[in-house]
Amino acid sequence: MAAGFCLAGRWWTEEKPTAEIIEDAIEAMTQYFLNHPHMPGCCRRQLTDVEGEFSGIYTDDRKFKFHPVRLKEIFGKAPAGKRD
C-alpha cells in the first residue's frame, strides 16, 4: 500500500490535494477548535515543509502555497469565549 494521508474525508496517495481543498480542511479544523467552549485558541505550528512532508503553509523558499488572504480570514477569527 502506498504511503499517504487522510484529508477532507479522502485518502491521498499519488496526487496532492488542491490549495482550495487544503484551505477548506484547515478552516474546518480551525473552526472546530475555535468553537469548542473549553478551547481558548489554536496555533498552526508547521509553517514550512520538512523532509518528506508537504503540510507547511510556505514552500522551502518561503513562498505561500495557499492564498494568504484566505489564511488570514481563517486564522484571524476569535475563539468562542472571546467573541463579542
pLDDT of residue 69: 94
Q: pLDDT tens across 11-68, in order?
A: 777 677 788 888 888 888 888 888 888 877 777 777 777 766 666 788 778 888 889 9
Q: What is the number of other CB atoms lying within 10 angstroms of the CB of residue 73? A: 12
pLDDT of residue 70: 93
Task: Judge residue 61's burial from the number of C-beta atoms within 10 Å of its C-beta, 0-12 exposed, 13-18 middle, 19 or more buried.
Answer: exposed
* Domain locations along the chain: 17-82
